[in-house]
Amino acid sequence: MKLRGEGLVQAPVERVWQYLHDPAVLKEITPFVTRLDRVEGNTYTSESEVKVGPIRGTFRGKLRIEDIEPLKEFAVILEQGSTMGQSSVEMRIRLQEEEEGTRIEYEGDARMSGLLARMGQRLIGSTVKKVAGEFFTNLQHRLQEDWA
């Protein structure tokens, strides 16, 4: 399933980039995420508590960041599993400095299996949009708190 969207954060691209690569910040601002620990380099272990309609449970998995082009673009590869099934997401994130701040675009593909695929498929599109919306809002708040 294709995922795509964008958001605007009122902060310079350097700061946004820094926050997007700080696991402590990411854990705090990303909905559902309860743990995000660096294993080594750009590899992390993750845990999230998901509760969306019939989809609920603890998802555990690995997150990898690749193809880093500083201040411009990177790829996130997330593989998570729970008893509801497995999900893997490959997402490219692009940053672009604009007059009002930094535009963040994401574009990628999500694959699901098990109960997640049977029950969750139709919820994923809207859920990702909602999660992304909250993520951008939280990021904005955090940047304002830290740099105001």
Summarize as ranges the residues that interact with other proteins (CB under 8 A). 54, 57, 81-83, 85-86, 111-119, 121-122
For the record, the structure tokens of 66 come out as: 């690749």
Q: How far is the CB of 111 from other proteins (least distance, A)?
A: 7
Q: How far is the CB of 49 from other proteins (least distance, A)?
A: 14
Q: Which is nearer to other proteins, 96 or 127 (CB)?
A: 127
Q: How far is the CB of 94 from other proteins (least distance, A)?
A: 27
Q: Specify the pairing of strand 85-97 against strand 33-40.
A: unpaired
| Of residues 93, 123, 87, the one with CA closest to residue 108 | 93
Give the dihedral of Cα atoms 77, 21, 59, 107; nearest 10 deg.
-40
Q: How far is the CB of 23 from other proteins (least distance, A)?
A: 25
Q: Which is nearer to other proteins, 93 or 119 (CB)?
A: 119
For the record, the structure tokens of 51 come out as: 């509760």
Q: Which is nearer to other proteins, 82 or 140 (CB)?
A: 82
Q: Which is nearer to other proteins, 87 or 102 (CB)?
A: 87
For the record, the structure tokens of 8 come out as: 């605007």
For the record, the structure tokens of 72 come out as: 């411009």
Q: How far is the CB of 65 from other proteins (least distance, A)?
A: 22
Q: Which is nearer to other proteins, 30 or 46 (CB)?
A: 46
Radius of gyration, alpha carbons of the chain: 15
Residue 128 has a CB neighbour count (10 Å cut-off) of 20
Residues β-bridged to residue 88: 79, 111
**Per-residue DSSP letter, 71:** T
